[in-house]
Structure formats: C-alpha cells, structure tokens
Chains A and B, each alone.
Chain A
C-alpha cells in the first residue's frame, strides 16, 4: 500500500482533498460581509435609538453558525446525505405547510416566516436545498436519461415544495431562483431539450396567466416590473432602484471609503442590510471593491462547477449543479437588481445579505459541494 492508499482508507482522508480555493473565497466573502452589514445598518439603528451593532452582531452569529453547518455538511459523506434525502425533503415540505398555518408569520403580505423569539426561519430558503437534493437523488437513479414520464416525476418532486411556496406567495424567489435552478438541474439530469423548451413555454404562459388572473398582488407586479421603466415614477417602486443605482454609481472607481457613503449613511437605499447590500460595496468600496467581490463569487462558482465535473457519481454532480444554479441565479438576480438589469425581488445576496436562514442555507450548500469535491476519489 502506498501512503496515498493508506490515507484513502482513513476516514479523515477526504479532508486532504479539500478545495481550499472554495473555502478561501467563501471566507473572504464572509469576512467582508459583516463590515458591509454594519455600514448599512448602523446609522438607521442609531436613528431609532438602538445599538448600532445590533444587526451586525446577529449577522456574525449567523455566519459562525453557518460555518459550523458547512463543516457538518462537508463531514457527513454525501452519499449518506443522499440516503437521508427523503427525510430532509419531507421535513422541509412539512415546514412549508406549517408556515402557511397560523404558526407562521406574515411579513408584507407573504406568509413565509417562523418566528422563534428573536430568531426567525424562512423555510423557502431551506426548500432550495430540499429541491436540489430531491431532484439530484431522483435524477441520479435515471442514468442521465429523463424521458417524459421520468421528467414528470422529477417535476412533481420539484413541484410540491414550489407549489407550497407559491401559496405564501413568494413569487420573486420562485420565478427568479427556483425555476431556473430546476431547469438547470433537469438539463444536466438528462431531460430532453424540447421537453425543457415546452416547459419553459408553459412557464411563461403560467407567469402571464398569473398576472392576468391576479394571483400575483399588484405591489408584487410593480416590484417585478419596475426595472422595465426605471425613470417612470421615482417616488414609488423604481425609487428603490434609482437610489440603488445612484449609490453604486456614486462609488466610482475607488469608492467613498468604508462607512463614508452618503447614500448608505443617509438611508436613501431601502432594505440595505438585506436585499441591497451590494450597494454598500459599490458606494463605499467602489468599482475596485465591487469587482473584487464579483471576482470572489466567480471563483466560488467556478469551484462549484469544477466540483460538479469532478464528482465521483451522478448524484454528486447534480447536487453541485443545483448549488451552482442556486448561487449563480441568486447572485445575478441580486446584483443585477441593484444595478437595474433585473427586476426588484427580495432575493438575498449569498453570504453577504443579512438574514439567518439564507446564510445557513448557503453555507450548507457549499458544505455539500465541498463534501462532493473532497470525496471525488472515495
């Protein structure tokens, strides 16, 4: 036995193949994020007489918890995770059902939160993992060939949690994250391109139908379509977008400097610690900082893509592809929204935005990718 062979049998041996680039990029983003959250929240908190560090302390807590979750998600062999997928899937669906009952809380017309004292949980975030694992588990058993019947089964797997999310109704996340993510996974899982084309066409029909039948609330329509007419009414939906673009544009090449952004300090950008966190980066760190952050995300996404390529089995590939899609569409949707190339929806920027469940979900997803990557030989 070679030394290499010895280490392979060692249960800890997988850690030798850990993707440091992915871990490094993750940590770099996670270290930048509290600074940005603090900058975005301190003046607003001061203004209402609260502790300016209130939000960032909680955020750091979520990040630390997220790091722990990532370690756990990387440690347990992903094949055991695959075995547990039905349990995870069922549990998440149960949570999605429960959140619709009076146990859940309504925020801005969406029944999407559980409140546990000071903590809150957003099951729709967890549902991303459930859908990824569910589709990956089912898809990996079909040898890369999804005919219409199998595709239909896969669609049911994805459709149950998505249907429950539609009931909340968390339309933005559904349309902007879940739909492209599911399509991506199905593409890799072997769905026929023409089936997917029909599916996409049906999806578009569905969206138009939803708008026409007024399943979607007016304010959601407005928020979703505000990006189409940014100069229209600056006072309303696109006010947010204009302020967001002003913040980023005002940052210039090198930015106003940490904690120096006037748009940020004067609270012109709404929802800044959460949905519009990228504007803080843009205004205070400038093109240099914002481009660096995008570059870090690019490395992250590249490493996830690479993990999908290198995965030992099809389940691993599909999990990585799911995580890849989740990350890419979240990043593009969020960053695109702040720059006025995507509609305004409440999609957090992975690892940057304040928000416990999203942070934990992202860390868990990255943990799974690390898991797949480091067990590529075992």
Chain B
C-alpha cells in the first residue's frame, strides 16, 4: 500500500459526501420551490375538515298551528367502522372496552350495534343516543384514546301529543340504498334521515331543510381548533295539516272506546264481538280536507326515533296483532254494505228504473223473476218486512228488497245502459285511489262482469265463480258483492254527494310555512270530478239519509236519540258489511249539518256488529264535537253503543 492510498481514499469519501449533500439540496429545492404549490394545497386541506350538518326537519302542525311533531337535540356517539377496521385486533378490543366503560354499556351491546346491517358501512354507526354531557366531555377531552369514535348532535323527532295521528304523520328513518339512488343528484348522503310514511314521506321536500356546511380547522388527532365559518343549515319548512288536534284525539279515543264496548256485546250467535280494529274519517266537504283520521290499533311513532329493530317492525305489521302500522282509513278495504245504497240510489234514479215516487211492497223477500230455488230468494236483514217503500223510505229503513229490485232491473237493462252501478260507484271515487297524500293507499274494488270473468280465469282456485248472474247484481246493489271501499273513499263519496257533486282529492295539509309562520305554499283543494246530481236525484236520497237518522224508523235513530237534530240536522246511512267467516263489520257514514253540509264522517269497525249500533254512536260523538256540543275532548263520557237494527 502506498502512503497516498489513505489520501486518495479520503478524497473518494469527500466526493461521496459532497454528492450526498448535493442530493439533499436538489431534493429540498424540488420539494420547496418546484413542487411547493401542491404541498401548500395539501397542507391546507389537511387541516380543514368539511363537516356537513343535516338541517333539522320542519315541524308538523295541526290546523290551528299546534305542534304535532317537533325536534329535539340529541347527542349521539358514533363509531366509524372503516376506521375501526384499520385498528389491530388488540387495539379494537381495548377501544371497545374503554368505550363500553365510558358509556356504561356492556361491550356486547356495542358489538351488536356495530354489527347493524341497516346502517350503510361507510356511515358512522350510532352506538349511543341521548348521551350524557359528562360522557361527551370525557370522550372529547381524551380523543386520542377514542380513535374512530365521534360525538355529534342530531335533531330527532319528538311527539308532544304522543301517539296522536301516528298514521297520518308517518315516520322518518335512515335513507336506504334505493332511496339514495333515486335522489342521487340531490343533497342526500348515506345516514341521512328521510320520510318513510305518512306526511313525513309525502312532504319530504318541504320538511327537509338544506344541510349546512361547516369548515373546521383540526389537528392531526381530529381535535377541532377553530371554526372557519359555515353555511348554516336551513331548517325545513313547517307543514300545517288540515287535521284538527282536538277532533283527532276525540276520534281516536272514541273509536277505541267503541271497539272496547263492542267486545262486551255478543252477536246473534251470542259470541262476543272480536272488534279488533277500525277507522274513522272526518272530511270537510267544502274542500275535501281531512279533519281527523283515526285508525285502530295504532302505535307510538317515537319508537321509530333512532331506528326501529326488525322484530319491533315485524310486530307492527303482523296481521296476528291486527297490524297496528296499517292505516285502515286508507289501506283497509271493506264491503260497504248498505252504505253503498247511496250509489245504487243514484244509479237507479239516473237510469229511470225508479223515480222518487216508485214504490214497491217490501215483504222482506225478493225473488229473482223467472228463477226457482233458494239461491233466487233474497231477504232483508233479519227477515223483516217494511211494507210499501219508496227510495226515501228504503234508505231510512234500509230496505234490501227495494235495492235488490233495482239491481235486478239494472241487470236486465244492461245492454242499453251498461254496468250503471259500477260506473256510478267509480264516479263517486270508489275503486280508485283518492290520491290522498299519505302514501300506500288502497284503491278498493269495483268489479264489473268482464273484470269478474277475467279474475276467475286468472285464478280459478281463489275465484271459482266467473259468470256474473243477476243475483250478483242484486247483491252489488246492497254493497255486498264485488265491491270494497276504504273508509276514506266512503267518506269522500258522501262528501261529494253532500256538497252537490264535487269529488275532491282528500287533502291532509293546508299549507307549508316557514318557522316564522309565513306561508310559503298554499295547498289548494284539488277537484277530481264533478258528479251531476240534479235535484230530482239528490233530494229524495238526501231526505232518505236525513230520515235514517231522524225518523223513528231510521236505522240510526237509536244512535242519535237525544241529539239536537232540529238545530243540527244530520244525514247518514248505516251499513253492516258481511265478510265470510267473520262477524259483521259495522259502518256508518254521515254528513252534517244536513241543510248546509260542512262535514262528512265515516266510521268502520271490524267485526263489531250493526252499523247503527256500533259505528253510528262513534260518528254521533264526533258530530257532537263538530256541532260545538262538547268543549274539551278529554271530558266526554265514554261512548255508549245502542241497540241498533239490522240493515
């Protein structure tokens, strides 16, 4: 080795050192000068978190502005599951144990909530709601110990009047994938709440506000250091319903009472009535708005707050428990029974097979002409005979024979005038959805011979009969065959008759207004069609309906005994709907005041007996309120059923 070797080698080390420094300078220059801009932006976005704040929904008010659905703030602790997954198994266990301790809940409960498949996997899942402020402080002050855990404020629905109008109000829930897809270009995100039923669903756009955006400066641990300004969320508008809170409360309570009372009575076989369910509807006949809509059994809408479990929801729609979630006023489909005689009367008078003076002798039995055998013999309910009846008296006493006649004659003239009863029923809105903005409405059923045949052909097992015979038409005339109506359709048909022929789309909301009460959108009445009801048709029917309530022979007379009909006349029709294998449904429809109609009331009670004995007393109680005869709905006596007559 030469002596120079170390010197040479030292020079090599020097060169290497120099190049290393040059590399550092070059890299530094690249990062800080050449590529500075992209890193500047990265640093800025690093420290700013954009937080979307859902707006509180608008409130839902009754017709007088009383609050039926409000919001209250709720503190929610959430866990981001994607963040949770990025932790090691051990870290995850430690975190869950710590969180469980802090929240005072067992770990198993947290794990179950974290496993909730109903929450979108990309949305932080709520593990605790209505959390105590001290818990919040403990989490916030020690955020590093709680990775993936966040605390947020949520506005949740609150129901100051409890279960009142649950079916009308509907509920809100977390948006699902389909709903999200349908609103892709609107301001919806996974985890948002959206109306699922009732007016919450139908007025979603009005009730939902505009979500706010907050820019927050955060540090690497997500602690918020500064609020960099925001676009405040705008609360949704209030929805003012046409529902009157007092009347609604009364309707629900009276319906429930009457069903309870019916269960203490026995049918003609001395079996107690099951009376499990029913509906009551009150309409303003002048504009079609719904003043009250009760459906029994009902449920507590606050159970939907924070999400309802599968089991709870299954119980709500279980037929074995009479499906409390079903709004029978718009989803229940019932044979209208004698209440259908309004339609048959109109059809009969229009066709000319009867006029107001046509009288027949009601012997209690109607035999189809040229027909022999028991199947050709039709009887009045209870086999009673009413003697000579015209259309007025036929409605008053609810003569079936009179209407069997009409049905039979209309069948004979079918070639000339078509299926007039069905046409008239459809004209009154039966067999089609009313369009009431409540979602999931049933259309009822009005079958004509062709549809009857088709139904048979499509499903011969369920519908063994396909040939429409005259007997079908006779039964149709008294509302017992191939026709089903919802309580709302029934009320709406009578409302149209009462107001002179205007059929409205029933409205449940009057207007949309700001929090300050300023009206944003007036919800005008919508007319479906006008029914031609000249006086020679309308008057005798009207008289018959008035007498059904007022005359001593009227089927609803017992129910209205003592009611001041002189000052507040009521027109109405009882009905007893027969369902094979079940007890009779009680129906009653009325409008009042009869001389200047304002309200239409329909009451349907399943398996509760005669319309006159069970349903009419409910309507009477509601009319007492509407007539101003009772002040406080809470003070009224329990409704009393009466001894009715068969119709």
Contact = CB atoms under 8 A, between A and B. Distances in A.
B32 A249 contact: yes
B36 A250 contact: yes
Contacts of B24: 294, 331-332, 335-336, 339
Nearest to B86: A235
Contacts, number: 138
Nearest to B31: A249
B20 A328 contact: yes
Nearest to B12: A187
Interface string A306-328: 00110000100100010011001
A249 B6 contact: no
Contacts of A222: none
A266 B47 contact: yes
Dominant secondary structure at the A interface? helix
Contacts of B14: 305
Contacts of B1: 143-145, 190
Contact of B27 (A265, A268, A341): A341
Interface string B465-489: 0000000000000000000000000
Interface string A228-267: 0000000110000001011111111100000000110111
Interface residues of A, number: 54
A208 interface: no
Interface stretch (A8-16, A62-70, A282-290): A282-290
Contacts of B521: none
A328 B223 CA distance: 38
Contact of B17 (A144, A291, A305): A305
B46 A268 contact: yes
Dominant secondary structure at the B interface? helix
B203 to A, nearest CB: 42
A287 B36 CA distance: 10
B40 A252 contact: yes
A331 B38 CA distance: 26
B29 interface: yes
A339 B39 CA distance: 12
B31 A248 contact: yes
A138 B341 CA distance: 122
B218 to A, nearest CB: 7
A370 interface: no
A266 B39 contact: no
A249 B17 contact: no
A166 to B, nearest CB: 25
B463 interface: no
Nearest to A190: B1
A22 to B, nearest CB: 15
Given A190-B1, A305-B13, A309-B7, A262 B43 contact: yes
Contacts of A235: 86
A269 B176 CA distance: 39
A186 B27 CA distance: 30
Given A266-B225, A301-B17, A249 B25 contact: no
A251 B27 CA distance: 14
Interface string B200-222: 00000000000000000111110
B317 interface: no
B43 to A, nearest CB: 4
B9 interface: yes
A213 interface: no
B223 A252 contact: no
B177 interface: no
Given A252-B36, A294-B21, A246 B42 contact: yes
Contacts of B3: 144
Contact of B43 (A144, A247, A294): A247
Given A252-B32, A253-B32, A298 B220 contact: no
Interface string B354-380: 000000000000000000000000000
A225 B400 CA distance: 93
Nearest to A335: B24
A38 B574 CA distance: 90
B451 interface: no
A164 B32 CA distance: 40
Nearest to B4: A144
B10 interface: yes
Nearest to B223: A47
A145 B1 CA distance: 6
A188 B31 contact: no
Contacts of B42: 246, 249-250
B10 A266 contact: no
A202 B10 CA distance: 24
B28 A282 contact: yes
A144 B6 contact: yes
Contact of B25 (A190, A246, A270, A291): A291
Contact of A268 (B9, B25, B219, B223): B219
A143 B31 CA distance: 46
Given A282-B31, A297-B21, A305-B10, 14 more contacts: A188-B6, A250-B39, A252-B40, A263-B43, A267-B221, A287-B28, A287-B29, A291-B25, A298-B21, A309-B7, A328-B17, A335-B28, A336-B24, A340-B27
Interface of B: 1, 3, 5-7, 9-10, 12-14, 17, 20-21, 23-25, 27-29, 31-33, 35-36, 38-40, 42-44, 46-47, 86, 217-221, 223, 225
Task: Give 10 closest A-B pairs by Cβ, nearest first.
Answer: A249-B39, A250-B43, A266-B219, A287-B32, A268-B220, A252-B36, A249-B31, A145-B1, A267-B220, A246-B42
8 contacts: A247-B43, A249-B32, A266-B46, A266-B219, A266-B220, A286-B32, A294-B28, A341-B23
